[in-house]
Structure 1
């Protein structure tokens, strides 16, 4: 029976086949030229840190508050801006990459 592939799987498989030099009809080449821009690699990620109003970058910010004669540290969430996109030092594979990368060899029972 025929199976239906998702559009993401089709695009990734076309980009992988174009990376390895698979050729096809002229019509298929025109289609794959638009799909060749799709890559299985991820080059950036969303940052998890924040900038405060002074320009400091951190995961959490605290401020010291005097309560009843003693100091208390409270978490500060006002006027924080998310870090945004952060480039990865090494490209990663996308989580939806539908191809087996490496197959472990079977050594048999010991």
Structure 2
């Protein structure tokens, strides 16, 4: 029962052990190349906003519809056509991927 946990920890921690005595970059290269899956550092994300025909950027767009009868209220209608997604948005500073396999804590 305990052997499975120690195998798992060894598998995660092994890329972070230094194998080269004199090479300071070897630890960084091992860390970034031997972990499988997505990269450790995330530089951008998929934007959640849209551009409309005028080039305005927002999450949602509405247009005011005037009432057809006199005395009734105007209504807001949501626009869902002719919108372009924002695309990739760069982070101001790089971040760790959410699947980063090491628990980080401050001592």
- Bucket of the pairwise TM-score, normalised by the shorter protein: 0.5 to 0.7
**2:33 is the counterpart of 1:35:** yes
Aligned counterpart for 2:75 among listed residues 48, 72, 83 = 72
Contact 2:32 / 2:40 at 8 angstroms: preserved in 1?
no
CA distance in 2 between partners of 1:63 and 1:52 (Å): 12
Structure 1: which 5+ residue stretches go unaligned?
A: 105-110
CA distance in 2 between partners of 1:67 and 1:83 (Å): 33
Aligned counterpart, 1:54: 54
Structure 2 length normalisation: TM-score? 0.63
Q: 1:34 to 1:89 in 2, by over 3 A?
A: closer
RMSD: 3.3
CA distance in 1 between partners of 2:102 and 2:46 (Å): 25
Structure 2 counterparts to residues 10-25 of structure 1, below 5 A: 14=15, 17=16, 22-23=18-19
CA distance in 2 between partners of 1:89 and 1:95 (Å): 17
Structure 2: which 5+ residue stretches go unaligned?
A: 21-25
Residues 40-49 or 67-76, more deviating: 67-76
* CA deviation after TM superposition for structure 1 residue 90, in Å: 2.0
* CA deviation after TM superposition for structure 1 residue 39, in Å: 4.1
